[in-house]
Homo-oligomer: A and B are copies of this chain.
Amino acid sequence: MLSIGELSKRTGVKVPTIRYYEQMGLLAAVERSGGNQRRYSRTDLERLAFIRHARDLGFEIERIRELIALSNHPKDACEGADRIALAHLSDVRDKIDRLKKLEHELERIVSHCSGHTVEDCYVIRALSDHGLCDHEH
């Protein structure tokens, strides 16, 4: 049985975050010591590692809740898990696309800035005047 601090060290999830996940219902309320301190089993550690891994991959708490529910019904098709992962992948790709457009616009703006005073500064001017932009955003 691990204390919350030991669990934290082993998973890399901070102590308040572990308590937060419990509050959010991702981790079940766990056994307590005589003095009301949480005691975690190996199973709890594995579930937390699962959560952490999913968070690292950018899944939302709500999606993780769904993934846990699916993993608890091993006879169900894994269609659900696939769908969640593919939807997330699509979100990630959308974000990348949007950020790349920003990147190019910002590159263009800073590369044009050759003035030494704000009057000439392309950064400020570009922000003031949308007409100086290449595309919509």
The reply to whether A82 and B113 form a contact with Cβ atoms under 8 Å apart is yes
Minimum C-beta distance from A51 to chain B (A): 9
Main secondary structure of the interface of A (DSSP, over half): helix
Is A134 part of the binding interface, using a Cβ–Cβ cutoff of 8 Å?
no
Q: How many residues of A contact B (CB 8 A)?
A: 51
A10-22 interface mask toward B, CB cutoff 8 Å, 1 = contact, 0 = none? Answer: 0000000000000
Residues 41-55 of A at the B interface (beta carbon under 8 Å):
46, 49-50, 53-54
Contacting residues, chain B, for A85 (C-beta < 8 A): 106, 109-110, 113, 123
Minimum C-beta distance from A33 to chain B (A): 28
Contacting residues, chain B, for A128 (C-beta < 8 A): 46, 49-50, 53, 71
